[in-house]
Amino acid sequence: MNNKTFQIIHIQQDTPYQQALTLQEEMVAKVVAGETFGALFMCEHAPVYTCGTSTQIESDYIGGNNIPVIKSGRGGRITYHGPGQRVMYPIVDLKLRGRDLKKYICDLQIWLIESLAELGVQAHTDDDVGVWVTTPSGEMKIAAIGVRVRKWVTFHGVALNIHPDMNHFNAIVPCGIQTKGVTSLKELGIEKTMTEVDQILIQKFQQIFQG
């Protein structure tokens, strides 16, 4: 396998969540088999709530709308995906990165923090594995992280709020955290298109994971 570059794959916005998961799993199998180096899937899902393996549905899901709720094999608890949110699924072979899952998650956080810095947003990590910003209203999550590993190859990934409908978060306790809220680039006064943000995200991803 001579071509050690990640494929950047944009999934159509109307692709169902489960179909996006199937595409990830197919790519994981190719990486495990040594057929390709890895990939980064770029998604913008139709509205959906996904439940990670630690979800406590009785307390995490409030309801009040018709958005579907789907079980997900990733780590973490319940979260929302929808238009205006960039969801990214890196397929990375951790056998080439020291088999270090903790470092991988730290690298995901660095990727998001450095990308947000390019957009003029100062972000940081917290006890939770997501990425946070400090606002006049308190600590707010701007990006969520939930991953899974199969034979040391990663899938699932991260979700960055660019300009989603933030009202859709009202039906859940995002990531099971009741004491803090969620925000987006738009709420922070950063008016950027998905394409503009993608350019930064892809460049930073390549710098951190391909170098």
Q: CA 156 to CA 145: how far, in whole Å?
A: 9
Locate tokens 């608890």: which residue? 77
175 is an active site residue: yes
Query: For residues 131 and 143, is the Cβ–Cβ distance under 8 A?
Result: yes
Catalytic sites, residue numbers: 175
